[in-house]
Amino acid sequence: MRTSKWWTSSCRWFGARFLRWLGILMGSTIGLHAVCAYFTREHVDLLFVQWNRIDETLGLVASSRGTGGGIFASNECAVVCPEWMQFRLPAGTTLGREGDPIWILPQNPYPEVPYVGLAAEDLETEHFPEPLTVRLKGVEGPGQFLLWQAEAGGRLLVWMDTRDGVDGSDRVLLPAGGHLHLNWGFTASGTYRLLFQAEGRLADRSQLIRTPVTPFTVHVLPLRPFERWVTNHWPCACESDLIGPGADPDGDGIPNIFEYGFGLDPHVSMRARLPQALKVVRDRVSYGALRYWRSLQASDLEWWVEVSEDVQQPVGLRLNGNVQTVQADMLEEVIVQDPRPVSDGASSRFYRLRIRLLMP
């Protein structure tokens, strides 16, 4: 489960010089993908195991019969689970507590809902006599992920369940030539990136052949503001060094979370709307202050300003008083004043802007 995290920037008012950004996870610039397919109601084998006979390698892709039978790389597609597929768990289920919410992509066809499966129809039993294993290697998202099969008599066979972490038990057996549909469950709405790996053994080999660990994206509606922002700017992308809150794909030194908060374009390298140190005068007394701009659409961010006399100090004094705000064009200008006058003899004061992405 994703937890809240803060990011920070620092300014020094002495000389009004911008100092540095902290907590940035640098990432390489990656281009947008030309193809982006959203599976909203069709039959899609999200985990389709491909076999390359020439170099004897396996790969995981998505195969959609409702989109012209196309093959899509994992960063060229996403599955959308509609908001109305949210249910409340009944009493006595192994999937969670009674009354807890769960969003379900069902194992049987359902009107206007993606019908999501796993398939190894590209493989032959003469090459892979033993069933392949599809393993869950990780989950990024606001909640837990479960994969189960409803059998006759109401018995539930749970194949994957991240409530106790992700380990070797989170796996599905898939025979060569096989096709399987299961229930995909999510305990909260939002964007999930599910990392899978398939492995199998050739008939004349003792060594296992494995696919790369491959991420697939599922949007469980409704999305939160930051998730919508990411989807708008990088449709279907799933590389964390491109879309992560701390990533900096345009290389301008401003991580995505600040681009989002400041209302900037993450595809364009620009230094607009960075925090500015300044002086304000009240009753003929000068005070240091920090000015910044925040997007009114970034409603899932928490903002605050700290002050310290040493830029290396990890945590400063949080400033809560003397805050001015002015709204215009979906932006809000904020000025936070330091309570200590400039004339009190302090050689320098450092201001640090912190933000926290609020997630479940």
Identify the pLDDT of residue 326: 85
Does residue 93 surpass a pLDDT of 90? Answer: yes
Identify the pLDDT of residue 112: 95
Between 47 and 24, the more confident residue is 47
Q: pLDDT category, 29, cuts 50, 70, 90?
A: very low
Between 32 and 159, the more confident residue is 159
Identify the pLDDT of residue 14: 30
Identify the pLDDT of residue 324: 80
The mean pLDDT value for 148-162 works out to 91
CA distance 191 to 236: 11
Q: pLDDT category, 260, cuts 50, 70, 90?
A: very high
Identify the pLDDT of residue 219: 97
The mean pLDDT value for 178-202 works out to 96
Of 291, 292, 290, 254, whose CA–CA distance to 270 is shortest?
Answer: 254
Residue partners of 191: CB distance under 8 A and separation at least 6 = 141, 142, 217, 218, 219, 220, 223, 227, 230, 231
The mean pLDDT value for 281-287 works out to 90
Between 2 and 21, the more confident residue is 2
Does residue 50 surpass a pLDDT of 50? Answer: yes
The mean pLDDT value for 276-285 works out to 90
CA distance 64 to 39: 8
Q: pLDDT category, 17, cuts 50, 70, 90?
A: very low
List helix spans (H) across the chain. 225-233, 240-243, 256-262
For residue 275, give Cα distances in angstroms to 8, 174, 291, 305, 334. Answer: 11, 54, 6, 11, 10
Identify the pLDDT of residue 30: 29
If DSSP codes are grouped into helix, strand and coil, which group holds residue 274?
coil
Of 289, 252, 243, 290, whose CA–CA distance to 272 is shortest?
Answer: 252
Q: pLDDT category, 6, cuts 50, 70, 90?
A: low
Q: pLDDT category, 346, cuts 50, 70, 90?
A: low
Identify the pLDDT of residue 63: 94
User: Tens digits of per-residue pLDDT, 140-153?
Assistant: 999 999 999 998 77
Between 131 and 14, the more confident residue is 131
Q: pLDDT category, 347, cuts 50, 70, 90?
A: low
Identify the pLDDT of residue 334: 93
Identify the pLDDT of residue 224: 96
52-56, 68-72, 209-213, 291-295: least confident range: 68-72
203: exposed, middle or buried (Cβ count in 10 Å: 0-12, 13-18, 19+): exposed
The mean pLDDT value for 121-128 works out to 92
CA distance 183 to 106: 5
The 3-state secondary structure of 53-70, one letter per residue: CCCCEEEEEEEECCCCCE
Identify the pLDDT of residue 312: 81
Q: pLDDT category, 66, cuts 50, 70, 90?
A: low
Does residue 117 surpass a pLDDT of 50? Answer: yes
Does residue 316 surpass a pLDDT of 90? Answer: no
What own/partner pairs with CB < 8 Å and gap ≥ 24 does 249-254 have? 249/27, 249/28, 249/29, 249/30, 250/29, 251/29, 253/21, 253/24, 254/21
